[in-house]
Amino acid sequence: MAAPEQHPNSHSHQHSHDHHHPSGLKGVIYGMFVPHSHDASDSIDDALEASSQGIRAVKISLIALLTTAALQVTVVAISGSVALLADTIHNFADALTAIPLWIAFTLSRRLPTKRFTYGLGRTEDLAGLFIVVMIAASAALAGVESINRLVEPRTIDHTGWVLAAGIIGFLGNEFVAVYRIRVGRRIGSAALVADGIHARTDGLTSLAVVAGVIGVWLGLPWADPAVGILISLAIVILLITTAKDIGQRLLDGIDPTLTARAAEAIEGIPQIVEVSRLQVRWIGHRLHVHAVVTTAGAYSLAEFASLQHKAEARIRCALPSVGEVVLAPAATTST
């Protein structure tokens, strides 16, 4: 049984990299002092590097969210606002949702076993499912609270401090959202992208607090709950998109353009006549490709292995975050 990330020597200089290097003058200096190897002896495996990037993103964003919530606690202590205290506790709880994702990235680094022959990459998708549930809960809570405030208007005290806390909450959550989504897309982790969207929903909730305070200043006490309802609807829209992406991963769904690119990469090899079956699926943040091909003529095991190495190199060049590539022969035709 092969490990999920083996790089034959033939793929040197041809695979696509999840790790990006600095460009311009900084890139020249980086290349001078940090030489980069692309052969089979490369000290950093692509899959492990992607997991490490994911863990780093979770750590940094967790610190950022806890700092944001701590600043809000300071505002709560000054203003004495019970409503703001509840929102701050909510932000602390949401920050801790990063922990399941952290665990998932750590587990995904484990090698396959006889029981889990594909490894534990699927734990990322399970963490993503948990995050989707949390986004749904956020939307429900925000909607219920907004409706209650619309039915029973409440006076907002210490509006200046509440406004400051809302701005802090929005900026902190939006920073985390942008960072998580960027890293998640770079390494191919739908769960990390979902967690970024979760942070964005919390930022929108904080923005609703800001809009509510401004509404009160303008003599429109109903502005707070009204904006809250609109924010809840916006969260639902984000929820639908995120749930669709996570659900597709759990069902082994794949973007058809990725399948087409994999097929094109394989069919571009002259010795391959036809790709009779092609299966592409995400396991965690790695893309696995299995193909059955028809070759022009009979090939020995060594010759077909060389052909597989060539196909793997082309696939790694055409697709992002490639994990395992398996090529199997179907039949042969006379030349």
Strands 272-283 and 286-296: antiparallel
More confident residue, 332 or 35: 332
74 and 195 within one domain: yes
pLDDT at 17: 40
In-domain check, residue 2: no
pLDDT at 93: 67
In-domain check, residue 37: no
- The enclosing domain of 104 has a CATH number of 1.20.1510.10
Residue 89 pLDDT grade (very low, low, confident, very high; cuts 50, 70, 90): low
In-domain check, residue 214: yes
Chain-centre distance for alpha carbon 307: 33
Q: Based on the structure, what is the number of domains in the chain?
A: 2
Task: Indicate the range of 23-32, 35-44, 184-193, 282-291 predicted with least confidence.
Answer: 35-44
Residue-wise pLDDT tens digits, 261-270? 999 898 888 8
**Which of 268, 266, 273, 267 minimizes the C-alpha distance to 294?**
273
In-domain check, residue 75: yes
174 and 50 within one domain: yes
288 and 230 within one domain: no
171 and 147 within one domain: yes
276 and 319 within one domain: yes
* Domain encompassing residue 264: 256-333
Decide: 139 and 232 in contact? Cβ < 8 Å: yes
pLDDT at 42: 34
Average pLDDT score over residue span 251-278: 87
Residue ending a domain, among 207, 222, 250, is: 250
Chain-centre distance for alpha carbon 79: 37
In-domain check, residue 31: no
pTM exceeds 0.85: no
Task: Indicate the range of 39-48, 95-104, 135-144, 169-178 predicted with least confidence.
Answer: 39-48
pLDDT at 335: 47
SS3 track for 67-105: HHHHHHHHHHHHHCCHHHHHHHHHHHHHHCCHHHHHHHH
297 and 233 within one domain: no
Average pLDDT score over residue span 157-170: 81
Residue 286 bridge partners (DSSP): 283
188 and 315 within one domain: no
In-domain check, residue 15: no
- The enclosing domain of 293 has a CATH number of 3.30.70.1350
**Which of 98, 107, 119 minimizes the C-alpha distance to 56?**
98
Retrieve residue 139's tokens.
Answer: 């939307």
| Torsion of the alpha carbons at 239, 241, 247 and 253, rounded to the nearest 10 | -170
Strands 272-283 and 322-333: unpaired
Retrieve residue 18's tokens.
Answer: 């999840």
Alpha helix positions (H), the chain: 24-33, 46-79, 82-95, 98-108, 122-151, 159-187, 190-217, 223-250, 256-267, 301-318
More confident residue, 220 or 28: 220
Contacts of 239 (CB under 8 A, 6+ apart): 132, 135, 136, 139, 201
271 and 245 within one domain: no
* Apex 109 CA angle, 107 and 111, nearest 5: 100
Retrieve residue 242's tokens.
Answer: 């995120």
Q: What three-state secondary structure class fits 23?
A: coil
Average pLDDT over all residues of the chain: 74
Cβ burial 277-299 (10 Å sphere, 16+ → b, else e) = ebebbbbbbbbbbebbbebeeee
In-domain check, residue 26: no
The whole-angstrom separation of Cα 285 and Cα 105 is 9
120 and 154 within one domain: yes
Residue 44 pLDDT grade (very low, low, confident, very high; cuts 50, 70, 90): very low
Decide: 335 and 36 in contact? Cβ < 8 Å: no
Task: Indicate the range of 93-97, 143-147, 182-186, 199-203 predicted with least confidence.
Answer: 93-97
Name the DSSP class of 36. -
More confident residue, 141 or 278: 278
Retrieve residue 24's tokens.
Answer: 């311009």
Residue-wise pLDDT tens digits, 173-208? 888 889 888 888 888 777 888 888 888 888 887 777
Residue 110 pLDDT grade (very low, low, confident, very high; cuts 50, 70, 90): confident
The whole-angstrom separation of Cα 169 and Cα 166 is 5
Strands 322-333 and 286-296: parallel
Residue ending a domain, among 226, 250, 274, is: 250
Retrieve residue 317's tokens.
Answer: 């060049």
201 and 137 within one domain: yes
238 and 272 within one domain: no
Average pLDDT score over residue span 109-113: 81
Residue ending a domain, among 220, 250, 280, is: 250
Residue 105 pLDDT grade (very low, low, confident, very high; cuts 50, 70, 90): confident
In-domain check, residue 33: no
275 and 135 within one domain: no
